[in-house]
Structure 1
Amino acid sequence: MLSKWRQWRAERFDARHPFPQEEWLRACERLPLLAALDHDERQRLGQRTWRLLHRKRLTLPEGLDFDLPDRFSLLAQAGLLTLGWSEADAEGAFAGVHEIIVLPEAFRRQVEEMDEAGVMHEYVDERVGETWHQGPVVLSLADVRDSGDWTGFNVIIHELAHKLDMENSLDADGFPSISSDIDSREWYQTFMAVWNDLQAHLERGEPTPIDDYAATHPGECFAVCCEHFFTAPDVLNEAYPALYALLRRYFRQNPLARFKACQTA
């Protein structure tokens, strides 16, 4: 009964809001991540992104020239995270995303943090993105513009990965809701192996295989690994093949195949 209701709702939406195919294709042409999708993936993501654009509030800097392909590009990178999931699971995953706020540039936050000795430290932190449980996702426009390629950086995927992480808790802890075919012990052991390896590299004064921001907190480890999974899958797979394989099962996607196809095209 529920599936019929979803189908009726989707058909009603499509009738009221015809899909702008030309603008969607322009968005795909602008971003390597979208251009790498096959025809079926691209069309499915386009339809889902079109619905996201109508369900979520997108707040932009006043006077910004941000056309429909730009809006498509931003929300599609969020939707890329759930592209391999069913319509119901994809919709539920972003139920806690009500608003995405784009600021003109990086912003500063006053941070209070207690160290292992119990001493409270206060400092000003500059951020390019921020996410709250049941709150907005905040992104820097400059960093949104820098997202969408195969460089391993994507502020949109990073912050929306936090939202997936927060789906089953009040904070990002690196342990999102997982499907029944993934054992929670496997998830923990795989990520702990990555975490320990990152810490070991830092203790030896060596460069980390992926962005060292992943070593600051388990929630950031998950978000950074999601960034690399979608935008530098070759780097992640070479450094941590077990983690890449786990995320491939979690997201039900294989970005490495897309990346390799782009390299040989």
Structure 2
Amino acid sequence: MLEHWRRWRAARFAARHPFPTETWAEARARLPLLSALSDADAEHLGQRAWCFVHAKRLSLHPALANTPFDEPARLALAAQACLLTLGWSDAEHHEAFANVHEILILPEAFERRVEEMDEAGVMHQYADERAGETSFQGPVVVAYPDLMESGGFSGFNVLIHELAHKLDMGNSLDVDGFPPLPRDIAANEWHRVFTAVWDDLQARLARSEDTPIDDYAASHPGECFAVCCEYFFSAPDQLDEAYPALYALLSRYFQQDPLTRLPPREEASTRG
């Protein structure tokens, strides 16, 4: 009965909102992450992104009223969000993004006042500049310049980062780097693999060495998960080279293997 209802609903949506084939082709052409997909994956992702556009609010700050943000741009934004759940069933996709209601685009990076207590119990306050943020039921907020820098194979993608936080909060009200896991991934395995990455990052920073991924991953376990998700999709070769066990774990978690769609590095750097 449930499956019958889902098919009826999908057919009704398709009748009311015919899929814009030409718009999707243009959206794919604009972003290397999308143009690198196989035809089958692109078809699946396009349909899911089209539903996402109609189910969620994609909002521009009033200061961006005159900024070009056409239908291909909106579809490309939705597709980057839905790329995280491309390997999951429709039911899993809807459940994962049940706490996503709006994506709000701001004109610039923004500051937040942060309070943190150190090990001595002293409270510190400072201004933190952010390219994006979200909360359990709050909007996904991203800065327009950083959104425009996303979509290539650079290891940076503000949308994937913030949507990874939403996945993380699927079983809690805050980010902790421990999203709901499928049955084939045990919690102790997830903890072991991510702890090894965390410890390596901390050790490199303690020795004043460069880190193989953005060192923001070493700031908090939740940020470690989000940064690693960025690399998994937009620089999978770098993540696999640095932390192959983590790449394999995320490949099982997302049911995807982005290494198979990675273009040659020369082409990726030119197009991204």
TM-score by length of 1: 0.98
Partner of 1:109: 112
Partner of 1:90: 93
Deviation string 1:104-162 (CA, Å, 9 cap, x unpaired) is 11011111111122211111111000011111110000000000000000000000000
CA contact (8 A) 2:84 2:254 kept: yes
1:149 to 135, 148, 152: 152
Q: How big is the shift at 1:262?
A: 7.9
- State whether structure 2 residue 135 is matched by structure 1 residue 158: no
Partner of 1:186: 189
Moved over 3 A (4+): 260-265
Note the residue ranges of structure 2 that are not aligned, 5 or more in a row.
none
Partner of 1:35: 35
Q: How big is the shift at 1:34?
A: 0.2
- State whether structure 2 residue 48 is matched by structure 1 residue 22: no
Q: How big is the shift at 1:260?
A: 4.8
Letter in 2 for 1:209: P
Among the aligned pairs, what percent are the same residue? 64
Q: How many positions carry a matched residue from both structures?
A: 265
1:245 to 238, 244, 248: 248
CA contact (8 A) 1:36 1:262 kept: no
RMSD between aligned residues = 1.3
CA contact (8 A) 2:36 2:263 kept: no
Deviation string 1:170-200 (CA, Å, 9 cap, x unpaired) is 1010000010011111000000000000000
Partner of 1:226: 229
- State whether structure 2 residue 222 is matched by structure 1 residue 208: no
Deviation string 1:18-42 (CA, Å, 9 cap, x unpaired) is 0111000000000000001001100
CA contact (8 A) 1:146 1:154 kept: yes
- State whether structure 2 residue 49 is matched by structure 1 residue 80: no
- State whether structure 2 residue 68 is matched by structure 1 residue 65: yes
Letter in 2 for 1:225: C
More moved, 104-113 vs 234-243: 104-113
